[in-house]
A and B are shown apart, each in its own frame.
Chain A
Amino acid sequence: MAERPISHVPAAALALLAAAFAAQVGVHRLQGPPMARAGDLPLPPHAEALRLAVLGEPIAASKLMLLYVQAFDYQAGTQVAYRELDYDRLASWLQRILELDPPGQYPLFLASRVYADVADGAKARRMLELVHDAYLQDPNRRWPWLAHATLVAKHRLKDLPLARRYAVSLQTHTTARDAPLWVRQMEPFILEDMNELESARVLLGGLIASGQVKDERDLQLLERHLASIEERQKAAERNADSAKRREVDNPDGHPTPSPYKQP
């Protein structure tokens, strides 16, 4: 049935519609934009209580909780907001979300790539620990996040012992076929950065000898790296020997006269 033309609508109704619309826009502006306050993140409810509350829809609950958590930190001026968050509570929320939907990767993505990316080292470590603990529960599904956490610990936090601990976990627990080789061979490279060349050499040699590395190019790369470590070791030994000889030749520790004339 065709509608009647607008001319059938009384002018008073049209005027009321226009006035009410303008008033609604005005009221909306008066109320201002919604604001999330970072300090207000409460403790998460217990997982069983949540299951009950969402009528047996734990996956939907976990996604809604993610949105809820994001509403506290995903706001204008994100970096400032992250620092203001209570990271212990944030970690509790992310753990609870993981409990509700264990195959879900979103909480670990947030922990390793978003919340760990803050200037406060203690807070970043809190998130990396969360990723590590979660990884230990399901290594073959969650290794990408611990691999990223290892890189964050090594390159951004410059915490090589922490990076090594994560690398050892990755090497020990990851057995997934889709995990690339570098995920399980991070430890020798971190040891090398820690200047523990002998340990790095032993680990790398062991890895090559174990036959785990099937790809010819990977094998060549590892062998070249092993050779470079051995070269660095020899250079270090040579430097140590020459230092020892200098000490024997010059026991008082006086500086050796320069062969060049002073200007």
Chain B
Amino acid sequence: MLGFALPIARYTLLEAMRNRLVWLLVAALVAAMVAAAFLQQVAITEAARVQASVIAAGMRLFAVFLVAALVVTAVVREMNDKVLEVLLAKPMPRSSWLLGRGIGFIAIAGAVAAAAGLPLWLFGDALGVAAWTASLFLELAIVAAAALFCVLTLNQVVTALAAVLGFYLLARTMAAVQIIAGAAGSASWSDRLTGGVIDAIATLLPALDRMTQTAWVLDGPGGASLATAVLLPACVYVALLGAAAAFDLYRQNF
């Protein structure tokens, strides 16, 4: 299977390069450095903390949008150009195409995460920045897998992108929603039903609020167990989305 998947992954990377992804990342880095210089002039005290926290939050959102948009547009273009149909007509399993695309997009996520973490080395705690970058890579891998699943299901740029960003927003805020829903403390059946539905949705979502925390950049990862808080949940969720995308891909008629 890898024999088919690796060339597809390589072409995915090549496609991203030709889409001027590198120039976009350079532009984002320049914008981050300009913002850092501006914040240094504005901040009266704790300038490094202000710079690190603002740049970390901004780069995280930018990276998520960039990866989601890149995955969705690449797959929709491949579908519209009928390249996908040509590939699937060849004697290779559909999962090879999915695996190749997945590996390619996750490699792009790694490059984007590394670029997003670059400016933080100037202001943040070294160990914390390393943990933040690794966590952002895993978060972007989840976003890439979610975008691949959504675009294979919805086949449209706007709807797929909206679904991915909605999924991301929900996953980032789900913990707060659960806390608020659990506060009612009422024994009424409607409250119990609402709480049960919210808990069920939370079970199906990754806990993105616990990943890529800006506090790590400022003060180091502390006692946080990155393996159980970030690595394991991310690997499991990427596998789940990959399996769901494979299920959908195998059922589609081209």
Contacts and interface: CB of A to CB of B under 8 A. Distances in A.
A78 interface: yes
Contacts of A34: 175-176, 178-179, 207, 209
Contacts of B228: 30-31
B232 A27 contact: yes
B181 to A, nearest CB: 9
Contacts, number: 97
Contact of B180 (A9, A25, A28, A70): A70
A32 to B, nearest CB: 10
Contact of B240 (A2, A20, A31, A68): A20
B179 A9 contact: no
Contact of A67 (B180, B210, B250, B253): B180
Interface in A1-53: 1-6, 8-10, 13-14, 16-17, 19-21, 23-25, 27-28, 30-31, 33-36
A28 B206 CA distance: 8
B6 interface: no
Contact of B176 (A20, A23, A68, A78): A68
B95 A21 contact: no
A13 B203 contact: no
Contacts of A2: 253
Question: Helix, strand, loop or mixed for chain B's interface?
Answer: helix
A185 B237 CA distance: 63
Nearest to B244: A17
A71 B229 contact: no
A30 B251 CA distance: 33
A198 B246 CA distance: 85
A35 to B, nearest CB: 8
A255 B253 CA distance: 108
Given A13-B243, A16-B243, A67 B176 contact: yes
Interface residues on B, range: 20 to 34
Contact of A4 (B207, B242, B252): B252
Contact of B253 (A3, A71, A76): A3
B95 to A, nearest CB: 7
Interface in A168-221: none
Interface in A53-82: 67-68, 70-71, 73-76, 78
B233 A10 contact: no
Nearest to B173: A67
Given A3-B253, A28-B203, A75-B183, A16 B178 contact: no
B251 A3 contact: yes
A36 B180 CA distance: 10
Contacts of B182: 33, 75-76
A13 B180 contact: no
Interface of B: 93, 95, 175-176, 178-180, 182-183, 185, 202-204, 207, 209-210, 228-229, 232-233, 236-237, 239-240, 242-244, 246-247, 250-253
Interface of A: 1-6, 8-10, 13-14, 16-17, 19-21, 23-25, 27-28, 30-31, 33-36, 67-68, 70-71, 73-76, 78
19 contacts: A6-B251, A9-B247, A13-B95, A13-B250, A17-B244, A17-B246, A17-B247, A20-B236, A20-B239, A20-B240, A24-B203, A31-B210, A34-B178, A71-B176, A71-B180, A73-B183, A74-B180, A76-B183, A76-B185
